[in-house]
Each structure stands twice: as C-alpha cells, then as structure tokens.
Structure 1
Amino acid sequence: MPELTAELIVDGKVPRRPVISPDGCWVVYTVHPLSKADEHPVAALWLAATDGGAPPRQLTAGTALDIAPRWAPDSAAVYFLSDRAERGTPQLHRIRLDGGEAEPLTAWKGGISDHLPLADPGVVALVAADEPTEEDERRERERDDARVYGERVRYARVRLLSLADKQIAAPIGPSERHVVELAQRPGGGPLALLSWPDTELDACFVDSAVHVVDLSTRETREICRTPASPSGLTWWRSGDDWRLAFLATTPPGPVGGEAVFSVDEPGQPDNLSAGMPMCPISLAAPASGGLLALFAHGLDSALHRIDTRTELSTMDGFADALTVSSSGAVVAALRSTSYAPVDVHSGPPEGPLTPLSHTRPELREITWGRQERLAYKASDGLELDGLLVLPPGKTRADGPFPLVTILHGGPYDRDADKLSVHWAPSGQWFATGGCAVFLANPRGGAGHGHEFAASVAGAVGVDDWTDILAGIDLLVAEGVADPQRLGFAGWSQGGFMAAWAVGQTDRFRAAVMGAGISDWGQMVAAGELATYDGTLGGSAGWEGVGPHRHDRLSPISHAAKVTTPVLILHGELDPNVPLAQGEYFHRALRALGVEHEYVVYPREKHSIAERAHQLDVLRRSRDWFTRWL
C-alpha cells in the first residue's frame, strides 16, 4: 500500500460549487488544483449526469480560472467567469453542452464579479464595478492616486447584458451600495440583490440590506436590513406567495451561530431556524415550492425542509454547497466521510446521495489512520464532540502515543467526521508521522446551534480552552496520549489557540502557530474583519485608557510565561491575520529567549497557495513535532 506523502496532498484537486441544471439531469462543478503552479490560479468546469449514468467529463481546459458556473434557463448551456483573455480579470463566457468552444460575452474593464442568466433567455445580469474613467486612468498614470476614504468608491453594481448585441445597459439597483449577490424569482419575476454599504469585507457585519428590482420598470425597493454577514440569497415559494431567504448570524451578532432568515415584504426578517441545535450552512429552493436547508449537526450533516421544520435525510460526515433541481426531485452537494475525500454527490432529498465525481483517485489505495468519534463533557457539563486519528495500522492498545491536538479556524467552523488531509495542520498527515491526533470542536464552532457558537464573544481562550483541555485529559486517562509528549497546532483561529496554549501551560512539548493571532487589538487595527475580531476579543482599544478586555485575551500578554518551542508560520501578504501578528509573537519569544522558528511565505495570503510553500508547511510542521515529541 502506498504511504501518504506531502506531494500526494498538494498535487491533488478538489471539486467546488456544484450547480444542478433546471431540468435536473446534470450537475456542473469546478475542479481546483490544491496548489498554485504560478502567479495565477486555475480551475476547470466539469459536467456529471445526476443519475450517474455516464462518467463525468471535463468541459473546459483548466488553463485559466474558470469559475462560478450557472445554467441557462433551458439547461442547454453553462455561463461562467474566466480570466483566459487577461489573467486576473474575469469575463463572462458561455459554453454549450452539445460541444464547441466557450464563447466570450464581455470585455469589461476591471472584470465581472458575478452573473446570473435570467428567465429571459436573451439577458444575463452582471455584477461589476464601473469601468475606470479617463480621469481614473490619468490619476493612475501620473501617480496622482491619494486614496481618500469614502471617495471614488468602486461599488459593484448590477447591469443587464443583451446577448443579441452584447451591449451592457446602465446600472440598476441601489447606486451607492456594493452588490455582492443576486437572485431572480423563478418564472421571470423581479431581481433580488444583497448589498453592503461599502466594498470592504468588514462591511458584511454592518448595515447589509436586501433589495428587489422590478426588471420592467427598474424600480428598486429595499426589503430589509439584515443581521451580520448575510449570504445565500434565495427565492422560495410558500403556497402562492414568494419569499426571500438568506443565511446570517443570529442577532445581536456578529459572533454567533448562523440562522435561516426569511422575509416577504419590507420589514424585519423571520428566523426560521431559531432554537435548533444545529447550524445551517447552505440553502436551496425548488421552483415547485418549499425551502431546503443543509445543516451542520455535530460531526454530521442533515437536510431539512426548513419552512416546515421537516428532516428529509441525514448524512454521515461533511456536506456543503446544496443545490436542487426546479422540480425538487434531485439535490446535489459536496460530501466527505472519514476516509473519502470531498466529491460531488447527488440523489433525492430523502437520500441516499451517491458520488458522481472521483476527483482524487490517487488516494484510494492509501492506508489511513483509524479515525474515531469522541463524545465527552466540558468541565461545566456541556456536551462536546471531536475526532481521534491514530497512526496507520495502530489501535488504542498500541498507545500511549505522542498526541498532537489540532484546532480548526473560525472559530465558527468545525471538524466534521471527514477525511482530514490538507496542506495546513491535518489529522492524517500527523498520524502518518507516528502521532495520534485530537481534532477538537470546542464551543464557538458550528454544528451545535447559536448559543454554543456565541459563547466565545469577548471570551476566546476561556471556556473554549478548557473544552480542549478536557478532551486531552480524557485521551491521557484512557491511555491513548502520552502526557509527556503533547503538541498543539492550528491555522488562523487554531493558530491563535496554539499561541494561547503555550502561554497558559507548560504541558505541551511543541506547538505550531499558523497564521495565528497574537494581539486582538492589532486585529481591529489592521485585520479585514475588524468588527468580528473586536467582538471576539471583547474590546477595540479606543474605549479609553486600558487595560482592555482584549489585552487579557491576547497571547502576547502571556508570552513571558512561554517555555514551549513554537514554530510560527505566516503568509507575507495575509489580509485576514496580518503578518504583524506572527512578527509580534516572534519578537516576544526572541526577546525572552524562547526556542522558536519563524517562517514567512512570500506572496502568500491567509491560505498558502504555492506548491513549494505548501510542501514546506507540511514537512516543516511534521518535522517540528518529530523533533520535540
């Protein structure tokens, strides 16, 4: 049997964004390489029959970034965005299922950010910023480009493309809002828009809104202001009435569990999933009526008809990106289970869903470490779950093992019971190196409802930290983990917890801090999610003379107590957790004489994308634990 290698991980591909054709016969999806070979990423479109009657086939070459597929109303063609004409600048293209090359439909300066084929077969709605004016070009040419906040904002706006002459009409919808999603009511009805007040990512947490545009009169109405971080705008039919639905953080936010909201006229949206002990992650609605919601539920997933609160089916492990045919007879989603990588699955809503794609055949012969479900209680009695991955060929009887605890990002994320293989710290990779791995799901994550997720607001590193310790203590008590050989690793929020852990205890022999937060005040100052980060840390720093809540919750404040060797990994251009976060912790450990290694990856953002850098992350992090554990 072949062994899992770093090359097998980073040279793989992953499917994303499946979309069922209106007639229910086909699923189109994108396939992305896990690593980037040069400056620009690439992706290809693939097509699969929903009944599995024919093997999937590749629609586009994948030599450019071909993404965001959407079906023509007659299911005979797929519209998508591609930067094949100018790398980094996506334009709208169309490819027919009966063969031929993809046809370019736009050449918009600055590119198209989203699109939607309308019920009128001759029109496509586009989302794009205004093209640069002569004055804009002069300013750029002459470097007269001082940026004044609130001036010259390049909002993404909605325009209609006529396919007959490829002319793009003047913008419709709100003029001083940034449009991020759109959806047309089935049957040729009005166009719904989801907007932010400006173009910064942080704007999704404040003052987002839903609008409806009458396509015959161009009249725009605001339907509602939304809770924080809305997404998944969807029309759905309840009897003879049409309503709009979306996902957003349960108020007051912005930290908490997502919920399904619905609205049918101007006013406050209703929370359709209030009180449910699970978290919605994807919406879809058949034209025939009803609203479907895919939920993260503990380590597994569940499909509900949310308007009637009816459970349709349950699915082991991970599921996401729900899509449904017009009739409602067929759904598709991305799925992964303990030893099977993410693939596109399809079937009736009542299940079962069967795999259509087979994106990673190179992993079929790998001998995986045994993955077990864990259920235990926190110190305050809260029920928790997680996963244990043992070294390949080993059982609990072969323990105790060196144990690496891995925390996911977010914190609003989770480790579902899926195959744990990734370029960032992952279960099977460390298990192959001889360690047992604990994948922890402390409070603050998804899958257990709103209150579970909201409990870390202004309290990161408090109860969530003791939740993790409770899981480690359980594995030590059961003879799985050697208490003298404990490690901790994570990326993003997991990187924060790694830095936090080594400042709270000397139990860990080694830690890996990947793109981790060391100071919550600096996150408010420079991170792209300032509102969210300020809520997690509990303060912003401008409340007055400190000490502030975020000081007590920042790993940098506890650096003087660190004795554990720490490997710090960070992307140089990370906008989410800026490089200064890793730099700050490095400078503290250097000043304090603590054993550590600090690695910066040029050109990389929050997720490491280049092949050589991904290989380095994998090898360096596993070697770090081999050295110290």
Structure 2
Amino acid sequence: MPELTADLIVDGKVPRNPVISPDGRWVVYPAHPLSKAGEHPVSALWVVAADGSAPPRRLTAGTAADTAPKWSADSRTVYFLSDRAEWGKRQLHRIRIDGGEAEALTTWKSGISDHLPLADSATVALTAVDEPTEEDERRERERDDARVYGERVRNARLRLLSLADKEVSTPVGLPDRHVTHLAQRHDGGALALLTQVDPEVSSAFRDTRVHLFDLETGEARELGGTPASPSALTWWRSGDEWRIALLATTPPTLVGGEAVISLDLSGEMRNLSAGMPVCPQSLAAPATGGLLALFADGLDTALYRLSGGEFTEVSTVDGFANSLTTSSSGEVVAAVMSTSYQPIEVHAGPQAGPYARLTDMRPELAGITWGRQERLAYKASDGLALDGLLVLPPGKTRADGPFPLVTIVHGGPYYRQADELTVHWVPTGQWLAAAGFAVFMPNPRGGSGHGHEFAASVAGAVGIDDWTDIVTGIDLLVAEGVADPERLGIGGGSQGGFMTAWAVGQTDRFRAGVMLAGISDWGQMIGAGEMAEYDGTLGGSTGWEGVGPHRHDALSPVSHASKVTTPVLILHGEVDPNVPLAQGEYFHRALLAHGVEHEYVIYPREPHSIAERAHQLDVLRRSRGWFTRWLQ
C-alpha cells in the first residue's frame, strides 16, 4: 500500500472553476498544481466531454499561468488569460477545442484583469487598468514614485476588444471606479458591471455598486448599491423580465452569512435567500430563464432552483461542491466536488443528478489507506446544533482509543469543514491521522452552512461562543473515550490560527498549538490588514472611537499571553497582506517575554496562502513534528 507523504500531497493538481459550454457538450477547466515549484505559478487548460463519453485532454501546455477560461457563443472556442508572453502580465488568448495553437489577442501594456466574450461573437469585453503614460514611465525610471492616497489610483476599467482588427477601445461615460465583475444578458443585451471605489480589498465592504452599459448606444447608468463584499454577478430572467443576481453579505451587516441578492432594472433590491438555514456559495443562470444556486448545507452541499420567488432544493451532494456552471438550456450542470475519501474533481449531470465524475486529477492517491472519517453532530452549551468531522488513524476504530487528539479549526471565520477528503498543504485530518492522531475538525458558529444568524453571531464576539463550541466538541470526544485528555493539541490557519492563539491563553489543557497566519491583535489588523472594516466588525471596535479599553483588546490573544503555558509553533508568510507578519511577530515577542516554549518560522516571499513547494513541505512536516514531539 502506498504511504501518504508530504511530497505526495503537495505535488498534486486540482481543477478549479470549470465552465460548461453553452451547448452543454464540453467542460473546460484549469488544472492548478497545489504547489509552486519555480518563481512563477503555472496552470494548464483541459477540456472533457460533459457526458463522460471522452476522457479529458489538455488544451494548453501549462508552461505559464493559463486561467479564466470562457466559451464563445458557438461552443467552439475557449477564450482565456495567460502570462506566457511576460510573466505576471496576463493577456487575452483564444484556442479552438478541435486543435491548434492558442492565439494572442491583446498586448495591453498593463495586462488584462478579466474578460467576457460577448454574444455578438465579434467583441470581447475586458477589464484592465490604464496603460502607463510617458509620465508614468518617467516616474518609474527616475524612482519619483511617492504614493499619495487618492492620486493615480489604478482602477480596472471596461474595455472593448474588436476581434476583427484586435483594437481595444475604452467606453466613455462610466464613472471612475474599479470594475470587478462583468456579466451580459443572455439575449445579447446590456452589460452589467460590478464596481467599487478603488482596487483596495477593503473597499468591497464600503462602497460597491452595479452599473449597466448599453453596448448599442454607449449609454451607462448606475443601477444601485449592493451589500458588502459582492461577487458572482449574474443576469437571470424571470418570465419576460431581466434581473441581476449576485452574492453578498446579508445586509446590513459586514459579518454574517452570504445571501442571494436580486436587483430589478429599477434598482429595487431583494434578498432571495432570506431566512434560509443554509448559505449560498455559487450561482448559475440558464439562458432559458431561472436561477440556480449551490448552498452549503451543514457538512453537505445542495443545488437549489428559484421557483415562484423562492429557492427549492433540487438535489443534494454528499460533501463539498462549488463553482457551479450550467449549459444555456439548464439541462446540464457541472461543478467541482469532493467526498470523504475522494479528492476534488469535476462532475457533471442533469440538475437533479446523478453527477458523474469527469476527471481523475489525483491518481497517485489511489490505494492510500485513509483514516476513518466520521460525521459529528452535537449541541453547544446553549443548545445550538453543531457539526464537524472526526478522522481516526488508518486502520483504527473508536474502540482503539483514547488517542492523542488534534483539533484543527478552519479559517474565515466564514468558512466550513465539509465532509470532503481532508488532504491539503495545511495541517489537515488525513495527514495528521496518518501519524497516529485522532483529528477533530469542528464547525463552530461564525462559519457557513447554517444560515445568516449562525454566521453573524461572532460579530464583536470572536473567541466567545465559537470557542465554547469547540471546547464542547472536545469534551464530548474525551467523554466518549476517543480523546486522551492529557494529550490534546490545537491548530489552524488564519481565523483558525487566531483560535489557536486564543485557546492557549484561555486554558492550559492543550499540550501543543500550531498558529498558522493567525491573528494576535485585532487593533493591528484594523491598522494594517487589507479588510479593516470587516476586521473591526469581528473584533468589536477600531481603536479610533476614543481612549480605551476597547472591545478588540479583550478579544485579542496577545492580551492573554501572560497566561500561556502551551508550547506554540508560529508559522507566517513574510508578505501576507491579509494577516500581516506583525501579527505573528507580536505573539512571538509576547511569548518570548513570558518565557513560553515556542518556535517562530517566517516563510520568505509568501502571502496568506503558502505557495512554494519547499515551504508547503516544511509546513506539513514541521507542524506534524511539533504535535508528535509534545503529544506522543
């Protein structure tokens, strides 16, 4: 039997964002390596028959970052972005699915941000920042590059590419705002644009709007504002009326469950998923009318169809599913899916299922003996229904316990642990189980899969009820004889890293902790993180309300560092914009000041998600070694 090794995990590939052809015959998808072997990321485009009648075949070589595939209206050509001409600068290309070489369509000096082939088959809508002027080039050449807030903002603007002469034009009349998403009516009508005030990530929480652009007249108008952090812009038709749908945080909050928001052409907004105990995560609209959505439903995923103004469940997918796409008729849908012992693969089928697996991206995992993965359902201390997963060491059952138990907390907090194969470059269930640990992966409140109120309950209260949700699950596993109370560990990344730092300051029960890209101080997050408004809502205050003490001080792990006795492994990317390195540095200095056993590791060049192969291997081996040192 093959052994699960760190190399085996990071050397795999994963399909992302599949797109089904309008005629429903083909699915194109990028295949992304899980780790970056060289300086630049690479990915290849593949195509597969939607009915499984032909195996996948590669469209592009994968020597550059080939991403964002989209179909032509006749389902014969795939348009995509690639940086093959200049690393890091994407240009638009197209390739026929019946063979041949890819053709470059743009040479825009600043690169292309996004694209959308239009229904007229003669034009492609693009988003791109302005090309550098002579003054821009002089400033760069002479290092006259002082940055003044609000000046020289590099907003991505709408551009139109004529396929006849490959000329790019810039429509006038649109506001000077950053365009993040494009969508066109299926009948070839107006373009919808999702915009924010500037490219800063935090702007998605402050000021986002939908604009309409008439391709025939060149007229533009603002349709209305949106709730925070919108995405998945989609035209859909209800009877004879065209409307726009998108995903956004349930208004009026900045922290909470996502909602399906619909705007009619007068700008009137409606929350189509209000009150649902599930959370939308992907939208698709057939040209024939109606709206489809994938909803996170506890540990599983469900496909819903809008009917009579309300969503009705069409089918249920065991485990994880996302990136929904549909044919023009709506008869065939596709998505990426993963179950307990099967990695993420592309699946397709009729709306009501069954969904056939079309890809086999991880053949190297065949024959691995996985640890038994169990679903958990339990009640919080206040009676709230909770769920999670338990992974036991391979070949073991509960009767072989108690085991050393590692609790791995997911990020977000608006995320979830679905019942999927738990193998990734971060410390995950199967990787730790293979070393003899039982692994508990809880879904505490604040996450997705249980509706808006469940997710919103952590606003200004991170580390309170969500922490007790985790403790309750650990206590249950101890009481059932699964977990050895003298050998408990905790770890996680991002929000899971915060929860690790928080946990070791609240109790001395844990013998080891692994804090990966974790938050130690909410005040610093507001001052240096890329989502200040969101983080301020999570932490409960910003610091500029007046002289403290502030709510976020009480909820910051560094405030409780004097009580820490647990050995902690701190792992952090050096150029993380989401959770800046100062967060790990602050906790390291606090533990140093209090004489707490710990190890502090910085990964050069790495952002929030560790990408380089050697670094991913180090995260896996070092974290498992840390738990082995202290728990076994």
Question: Scaled by the length of structure 1, what TM-score is found?
Answer: 0.99
CA gap 1:418/1:134 in 2 versus in 1, 3 angstroms: same
**Equivalent in the alignment of 2:243:** 243
Q: Decide which of 388, 408, 411 is 1:409's aligned counterpart.
A: 411
Distance 1:308 1:463 in 2: 32
**Residues paired across the two proteins, number:** 629
Question: Partners in 2 of 1:490 and 1:153 — Cα distance?
Answer: 36
Cα distance per residue 1:375-401 (max 9 Å; x no partner): 000000000000000000000000000
Distance across 2 between alignment mates of 1:440 and 1:571: 25
Q: CA deviation at 1:310?
A: 1.5
Q: Show the counterpart of 2:73.
A: 73
Partner SS for 2:115 = strand
1:157–1:172 contact (8 Å) kept in structure 2: no
Q: Hey, what's the Cα distance between the residues in 1 that align with 2:437 and 2:154?
A: 50
- For 2:469, the equivalent position in structure 1 comes to 467
Letter in 1 for 2:430: Q
SS in 2 for 1:309: strand
Structure 2 residues without counterparts, runs of 5 or longer? none
Kept in 2, the 8 Å contact 1:157–1:173? The answer is no
In the alignment, is the contact (CA less than 8 A) between 1:222 and 1:266 conserved in 2?
A: no
Give, as a single letter, the amino acid of the residue that structure 1 aligns with 2:96.
R
Q: Indicate yes or no: 2:464 matched with 1:478.
A: no
Runs of 4+ aligned residues of structure 1 deviating over 6 Å after TM superposition are: none
RMSD: 0.7
Question: Residue 339 in 1 paired to residue 352 in 2?
Answer: no
Amino acid at match of 2:343: P
Residue matched to 1:555:
557
2:314 maps to which of 292, 312, 315? 312
Match of 1:361 in 2: 363
After TM superposition, list the pairs within 5 Å mapping 1:509-528 onto structure 2. Answer: 509-528=511-530
SS of the aligned residue for 1:288 comes to coil
Matching residue's letter, 1:56 = P
Deviation at 1:173, TM superposition (A): 5.9
Q: In 1, Cα distance between the equivalents of 2:497 and 2:431? A: 17
Paired position in structure 2 for 1:25: 25
Equivalent position amino acid for 1:86 in 2? E
CA–CA distance in 2 between the matches of 1:308 and 1:48? 33
CA shift for structure 1 position 266: 3.0
Return the letter of the residue paired with 2:606.
E
For 1:254 and 1:24, locate their aligned partners in 2 and report how far apart those are by CA, in whole Å.
37
Query: Cα distance 1:172–1:46, how it changes in 2: closer, same or farther (>3 A)?
Result: farther
Closer/same/farther in 2, CA of residues 172 and 22 from structure 1, 3 Å limit: farther
Quick one: which amino acid aligns to residue 479 of structure 2?
Answer: A
C-alpha displacement of 1:175: 3.1
Task: Identify the range of structure 1 (355-364 vs 168-177) with the bigger mean alpha-carbon deviation.
Answer: 168-177
Note if contact 1:159-1:172 (Cα within 8 Å) is conserved in structure 2: no
CA contact 2:242–2:265 (8 Å) conserved in 1: no
- Alignment-derived partner of residue 448 in structure 1: 450
Give, in whole Å, the separation in 2 of the partners of 1:68 and 1:215: 23
Amino acid at match of 1:24: G
Structure 2 CA distance for aligned equivalents of residues 139 and 586 of structure 1? 39
| 1:402-430 Cα distance to aligned partner (Å, 9 max, x none) | 00000000000000000000111200000
Aligned to 1:99: 99
1:120-148 alpha-carbon deviations (Å, 9 max, x no partner):
11100010001011001111111111111
- What CA distance in whole angstroms lies between the structure 1 residues aligned with 2:500 and 2:252? 29
Q: Which amino acid aligns with 1:195?
A: T
Contact 1:157–1:175 at 8 Å: present in 2 too? no
Task: Decide whether the 8 Å contact of 2:171 with 2:218 is kept in 1.
Answer: no
> 2-side partners of 1:98 and 1:418: how far apart?
35
Alpha-carbon distance in 1 for matches of 2:602, 2:295? 37
Structure-1 separation of matches of 2:70 and 2:52: 20
Task: Give, in angstroms, the shift of residue 268 of structure 1.
Answer: 3.5
Q: What are the superposed Cα offsets for residues 345-389 of structure 1, whole Å, 9 maximum, x if unpaired?
A: 000000111100110011111000000000000000000000000
The answer to whether residue 120 in structure 2 is matched with residue 108 in structure 1 is no
Name 1:43's counterpart in structure 2.
43
The runs of 5 or more residues in structure 1 that have no matched partner are none
Matches within 5 A, 1:320-399: 320-399=322-401
Contact kept? 1:225, 1:268, Cα under 8 Å = no
Tell me if the contact between 2:495 and 2:519 (Cα under 8 Å) persists in the aligned partners: yes
Separation of aligned partners in 1, 2:150 and 2:248: 26
| Shift in alpha-carbon separation, 1:173–1:270, aligned structure 2, 3 A | farther
Partner of 2:211: 211
Report percent identity of matched pairs.
76
Aligned to 1:614: 616
Which residue is equivalent to 1:135?
A: 135
**CA contact under 8 A between 2:339 and 2:420: conserved in structure 1?**
yes
Amino acid paired to 1:550: H
Say whether 1:147 aligns with 2:153. Answer: no
Which amino acid is the alignment partner of residue 176 of structure 1? D
